[in-house]
Structure 1
Amino acid sequence: MAAADILLLDDDDAVRLVVAQALRRARHNVRTATCLAELDRELRAKVPDALVTDVVLPDGDGIEHATRIAAEHPDLPIVVLSARNTLTTAVRANEAGAYDYLPKPFDLDRLIRTVAAALARRRGTAPAPSEDADASLPLIGRSPAMQEVYRVIARVVSNDLTVLISGESGTGKELVARAIHDLGGRRHAPFLAINMAAIPRELIEAELFGHERGAFTGAAQRTAGRFEQAAGGTLFLDEIGDMPRDAQTRLLRVLQSGEYTTVGGTRAIRANVRIVAATNRDLQGAVADGQFREDLFYRLNVVPVSLPALRERRGDIAELARHFLDRAAETGLPRKTLDDSAVAALEAHDWPGNVRELENLMRRLAALSRDDRITAAEIRSPSGHTEHRADGDARPSLDDAVAAMIDHLSRVEPRALEDGTLHERLVAAVERPMIEAMLRRHGGNQLRAARAIGLNRNTLRKRLDVLGIDPNPTGSAAV
């Protein structure tokens, strides 16, 4: 490909330098800007072949600015870079007319490929941005696996393509379906969810398509089915892999023709719904076994979305856990926080129940934990349930917990591994839960707790003051 003129906007000197060098190595001419005002000056001087822009800038929002630029220069491909790696960012970039969105940190080779593809395929006029992009959407996570999910969602909200969401139980498949509905053009119409595994086999067609009076014994009046109830909106078919074969045939016919009839009816009704289906089964394996229709699978699998298991996105666990604690507090439960040892214990667990298991644990600890600050000891207690790991170990080992704590620090505060404070941080993280555990074990008796720990009583009292620990956690008198 011939050299192109690329305009790069980023206020971070290091990012701007590295990206500019990578683009130049790809034989592009690169101009740079550090703010929106500089960007406008460069655009007035010469419209580039492509624009690569950050979102958070000193003088404004890069995506909002990109919307105006896309309107003025509809043939200019825009690639958005952002450290705010949320679903809302991906959707806003898509609605602003961006060719693509890359979350930071990104792979430079991927950026080069994205720019090359953008240059090769000029896009049309950008759609108008939505006013409903909502940062409070329940999908949470900045891991690469979740970023890919966000990118797919962002690209399907503006159309009615059928989506098939796959993933283990508890990964949040219905949340993805709701996000697709809430961000799309059908958001003002109903969103109806139906669990195909929970409906008796003989009632599934009447449940989906409705029935006429007298269609079967007990049908005393006409009843609208889910297709009719969700008219104009989204119908979410959960556990689609458990749908009986005869009902699969009827659903396939509707997807092919766009029409259905009620049970006992003769008049064709136009189906005006978007279909989003979900499964925790291997549908391709079910097709091979003859349990699921191959033609229906391909009708549903137009846009596949694969949700990662929580153990595959451990970097998101702390953020998710704190979100669930905040949500528990909003429902009236006591507000709690997590200390570093608790985060390490959570990240060391394998979470067979995925995000649902984590949410349930956080609600239980919010209700039952005696202290405002949750420790690893409480997470591993009978009120928690991270004692049984998928690999059969009784509980995460101390080696695992320390390794997880170091890994956590490396992500949230990388300098902690270079500034000589790692030993102090790890000791402090262990000291608090150790003292609290010994106070509980000895009924608040500070003298006995001090002896067990190997401190004198005065030293223990000083540590209680420094760490802000309640010296009487059990309600008994301290001695």
Structure 2
Amino acid sequence: MAGSRGLSDIRGTLPRVGSVRHLLVVEDAVSLARAIEDALRARFERCTHVASLAAARHALRSDPPDAVILDVCLPDGASVELLDALCDVEPLPHVIAISGTATAEQAFQLAQGGVRAFLPKPLDLARLEAVWLETLSRPPDLASALRASAGRVPLHDFESFVRDTLVDEALAKSEGSIRGAAKLLHISRQLLQHILSGRK
């Protein structure tokens, strides 16, 4: 199918668990953006701050982030308009939304689009750091990745995508132990070895 991506490409869209090299802060209040950057400074290598949807779209294309702190309401529109652009970033970034005025519908749309957490304003910076750590420690949201892949990957390929993702997660959680990963997956060690040998 034209424009479709292979499974290895889709696997590469999943966010890296716990690792943030580049943070994008999308927030029109400069003082709050600086406070966010200061609060999380030890948690990333570098930070980019933008104050509008237009600037965020440009940043997502030109310098894809690993994580995004996203104000829901910006001067040039609502950040739900960024969902398609966020889904095009590879790997998918971890996204935390913040807002003092978001509607229930906007919060629902953001959650459906892969936003991992939602914090109200005024922002509690200690709570932000706790949510940041919890969000980045969680395995990727497979449902969001699959939704983002609809129309891009043939339906029959989803099965191997899901299987490979679960295997990768189990191996990560068991620190590379095939026996431990097999136990987490409730399959035999021989079956897991067979699955892994089929990837080579």
TM over 0.5: yes
How many pairs are equivalent?
A: 127
Change beyond 3 A, Cα 1:95–1:2: closer
The 3-state SS of whatever aligns with 1:37 is helix
Given candidates 71, 77, 81, the residue that maps to 1:60 is 77
1:43 aligns with 2:60: yes
Q: Percent same amino acid at aligned positions?
A: 28
For residue 85 of structure 1, report the CA deviation from its aligned partner: 4.9
Change beyond 3 A, Cα 1:97–1:76: same
For residue 15 of structure 1, report the CA deviation from its aligned partner: 1.1
For residue 27 of structure 1, report the CA deviation from its aligned partner: 4.8
CA RMSD of aligned residues (A): 2.3
Within 5 Å, give how 1:165-176 maps onto structure 2: none
**Aligned counterparts of 2:63 and 2:135: Cα–Cα separation in 1:** 19
Kept in 2: contact 1:53–1:79 (CA 8 A) = yes
Change beyond 3 A, Cα 1:119–1:54: same
- Counterpart for residue 135 of structure 2: 118
Within 5 Å, give how 1:10-409 maps onto structure 2: 10-65=27-82, 67-73=83-89, 75-121=92-138, 122-126=140-144, 127=147
**Aligned counterparts of 1:117 and 1:69: Cα–Cα separation in 2:** 24
For residue 75 of structure 1, report the CA deviation from its aligned partner: 2.4
Larger Rg: 1
Kept in 2: contact 1:63–1:93 (CA 8 A) = yes
**Aligned counterparts of 2:102 and 2:42: Cα–Cα separation in 1:** 27
The 3-state SS of whatever aligns with 1:30 is strand
Change beyond 3 A, Cα 1:86–1:40: closer
For structure 2, list consecutive stretches of 5 or more residues without a partner in the other structure.
Answer: 1-17, 149-200
**Aligned counterparts of 1:48 and 1:106: Cα–Cα separation in 2:** 22
- Counterpart for residue 185 of structure 2: none
Deviations 1:256-313 (A, max 9, x none): xxxxxxxxxxxxxxxxxxxxxxxxxxxxxxxxxxxxxxxxxxxxxxxxxxxxxxxxxx
Q: Which has the higher contact order (CA 8 A, sep 6+)?
A: 2
Structure (1/2) with the larger helix percentage: 2
The 3-state SS of whatever aligns with 1:19 is helix
Kept in 1: contact 2:57–2:85 (CA 8 A) = no
- Counterpart for residue 184 of structure 2: none
- Counterpart for residue 160 of structure 2: none
Kept in 2: contact 1:36–1:59 (CA 8 A) = yes
For residue 28 of structure 1, report the CA deviation from its aligned partner: 4.3
Deviations 1:406-434 (A, max 9, x none): xxxxxxxxxxxxxxxxxxxxxxxxxxxxx
Change beyond 3 A, Cα 1:71–1:24: same
AA at the equivalent of 2:142: G
TM-score, normalised to structure 1's length? Answer: 0.25
Kept in 2: contact 1:71–1:125 (CA 8 A) = no
For residue 21 of structure 1, report the CA deviation from its aligned partner: 1.2
**Aligned counterparts of 1:2 and 1:79: Cα–Cα separation in 2:** 15
Kept in 1: contact 2:20–2:67 (CA 8 A) = no
AA at the equivalent of 1:37: A
Deviations 1:403-460 (A, max 9, x none): xxxxxxxxxxxxxxxxxxxxxxxxxxxxxxxxxxxxxxxxxxxxxxxxxxxxxxxxxx
For residue 3 of structure 1, report the CA deviation from its aligned partner: 5.3
**Aligned counterparts of 1:96 and 1:2: Cα–Cα separation in 2:** 21
The 3-state SS of whatever aligns with 1:84 is coil
TM-score, normalised to structure 2's length? Answer: 0.55
For residue 117 of structure 1, report the CA deviation from its aligned partner: 2.8
**Aligned counterparts of 1:57 and 1:118: Cα–Cα separation in 2:** 23
**Aligned counterparts of 2:42 and 2:101: Cα–Cα separation in 1:** 27
**Aligned counterparts of 2:130 and 2:21: Cα–Cα separation in 1:** 13
Kept in 1: contact 2:60–2:86 (CA 8 A) = no
Kept in 2: contact 1:75–1:123 (CA 8 A) = no
**Aligned counterparts of 2:67 and 2:103: Cα–Cα separation in 1:** 24
**Aligned counterparts of 1:50 and 1:26: Cα–Cα separation in 2:** 11
Deviations 1:100-137 (A, max 9, x none): 11111122122122222333333235258xxxxxxxxx
Kept in 2: contact 1:52–1:80 (CA 8 A) = yes
Change beyond 3 A, Cα 1:116–1:5: farther
Kept in 1: contact 2:23–2:44 (CA 8 A) = no
The 3-state SS of whatever aligns with 1:114 is helix
AA at the equivalent of 1:124: L
